[in-house]
Structure 1
Amino acid sequence: MNAEIIKYDEKGLVPAIIQNAETGEVLTLAYMNQESLNLSIEKGETWFFSRSRNELWHKGETSGNTQKIKEIIYDCDQDSLVVKVIPQGPACHKGTQSCFTEKLYENKETDSAVRPDAAFLFELESLIETRKKTMPEGSYTTYLFNEGVDKILKKVGEEASEVIIAAKNRDHGELSWETADLLYHLLVLLQEQELPLQEVLSVLKKRHAEKE
């Protein structure tokens, strides 16, 4: 990549959208100057320019939540970037996978639109993560986290048994329902263990690649 073609604003900055290279989730919006962009390319990890501190900063330098860069692309005007990364932990300083967790507007009329349903697993993971941090009263997810790992493990075992029974009954409706319950409780378990779903999927992808 020829970084010289990037156009910076009057403050010498260019906006950079940080995106999970494997899931497509937008993680954060940051800014780079020419030096931080060059460092990012040289080191293979994200470096930014802090507008509030007026200094360069290496993402994850203190937290350990670095971002390995897979690809950097720029727009047609050459004045904004998309940085696709493999995150080594939460992107947000609040501890969430993405800085974008609060919903400002939702158009219910688009609910029936076609979309990659598998991406909903990451949406659900993010919601469960938020529940764990905020622990809203009356939430079943809050109840599970309050009860602790033993209760969560018990529910995973129960739902796995229900999946087996549904499969033996050859009942697709029942099997779909029980599998959904199992997936939900597995996501709760992963959050309790602080293990991102993406790590599990990475293992699956690695196994698949090894068999190709």
Structure 2
Amino acid sequence: MRIAYTNMNLNFKKQNGLIPAIIQDANTCKVLMLGFMNKEAYQKTRRVKRVTFYSRSKKRLWTKGETSGNYLEVIDIKPDCDRDAILIKAIPKGPTCHSGAYSCFGEESGNNIIFFESLRALVEKRKHDMPLVPSAGEGSYTASLFRAGISKIGAKVTEEAEEVARAATSEGKARVIEEISDLLYHLTVLMAETKVDWMDIEQCLILRRG
């Protein structure tokens, strides 16, 4: 995390212990949301490198994504000229708005990778929520893959890749789309198991492109 100022001397007194924090997508530069931080929330944001607000309704700290998995990974923090507001550049790990939208202000990301990050967050949630011992008839296919482990997940990726190739040679466009969708889903499960994000893939491809 690149923090622009080591000692920002933020003015928390001006607004009764709070400062507004504008969150901006570090990749697209679009505004994602506005929240409020007290000093403790600001310090936690810097410490854990995930945006953490102070909830004025619940009277407690809350880290964005703590229930959904759609965290805002902090890249940079800058104060305004009066040091009573901050701009945070972050990488969203899924939709920012509680409605499922990319931004609370209705903006589109202009970056389709956000869909895949959202899918990965959903898969990660399935993994997090699965019981240690499945009950009879427990029907989550995603959870069953995680229980089977990386060897099983890898085998499914191989199987789906072969089906994509077979569909491409003899089964037509509609079938190719279906098989690629299956492959991307299983790749997403594999990525969650190995702690790889779609942003990691994007950055690798950008570097290769030169």
TM-score strictly above 0.5: yes
Is 1:67 aligned with 2:74?
yes
Unpaired runs of at least 5, structure 1: 33-48, 88-96, 108-113
Deviations 1:35-62 (A, max 9, x none): xxxxxxxxxxxxxx215xxx8443238x
Counterpart selection for 1:130 from 89, 112, 125: 125
Cα distance in 1 between the residues matched to 2:182 and 2:86: 39
Partner of 2:205: 204
- Residues of 1 paired with 2:188 and 2:205: CA distance? 16
> Is the Cα contact below 8 Å between 1:17 and 1:81 reproduced in 2?
yes
CA distance in 2, matches of 1:171, 1:85: 41
Greater relative contact order (CA < 8 Å, ≥ 6 in sequence):
2
Q: Give me the whole-angstrom Cα distance separating, in 1, the residues matched to 2:109 and 2:94.
A: 20
Instruction: Give the CA RMSD over aligned residues.
Output: 4.3
Matched residues, number: 166
Assess if the C-alpha contact under 8 Å between 1:19 and 1:27 holds in 2. yes
Q: Is the 8 A contact 2:94 2:114 kept in 1?
A: no
SS of the residue corresponding to residue 201 of structure 1 reads helix
The superposition leaves residues 128-186 of structure 1 with CA deviations (integer Å, 9 ceiling, x where unpaired) of 01011111642110010011111100100000000101111261101000000000000
Change (3 A) 1:126 1:170: same
For the residue of structure 1 that corresponds to 2:37, the secondary structure is strand
- Indicate the SS of the match to 1:59: helix
In the alignment, is residue 50 of structure 1 matched against residue 50 of structure 2?
Answer: no
- TM-score, normalising length from structure 2? 0.60
Q: Is the 8 Å Cα contact of residues 152 and 185 (structure 1) preserved in structure 2?
A: yes
For 1:10, give the aligned amino acid: Q
Shift of 1:27: 9.4
Query: Normalised by the size of structure 1, how large is the TM-score?
Result: 0.60
